[in-house]
């Protein structure tokens, strides 16, 4: 899923490790989210958005995702 996590994180002067500590995730998890290799749970996305005092949709750009939804994949929709 596309996201603006790095942009938001850097705007507050936070390292990946510092952001991870704030939301209870590892630096590696934050890196994987930033590089779109991992999609966070809704709870982690919520915690991240609260650090930046914004909505989840401002950080995570659902409409720009090239991946099909999991529900569609499980139904065989391409």
Domain ranges of the chain: 2-73
Q: 32 or 67: which carries more pLDDT confidence?
A: 32
Question: What would be the CATH architecture of the domain defined by 2-73?
Answer: Orthogonal Bundle (1.10)
Taking the whole predicted model, whether its pTM rises above 0.85 is answered as no
Q: Is the dihedral of CA 57, 29, 44, 48 positive or negative?
A: negative
* Burial of 30: CB neighbours in 10 Å, binned 0-12, 13-18, 19+: buried
Residues 9-58 have pLDDT tens digits of: 999 999 999 999 999 999 999 999 999 999 999 999 999 999 999 999 99
């Amino acid at each position: 899923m596309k996201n603006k996590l790095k942009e938001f994180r850097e705007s507050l002067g936070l390292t990946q490790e510092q952001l991870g500590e704030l939301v209870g995730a590892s630096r590696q998890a934050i890196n994987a989210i930033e590089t779109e290799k991992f999609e966070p749970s809704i709870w982690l996305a919520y915690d991240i958005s609260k650090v930046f005092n914004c909505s989840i949709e401002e950080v995570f750009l659902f409409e720009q995702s090239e991946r099909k939804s999991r529900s569609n994949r499980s139904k065989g929709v391409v």
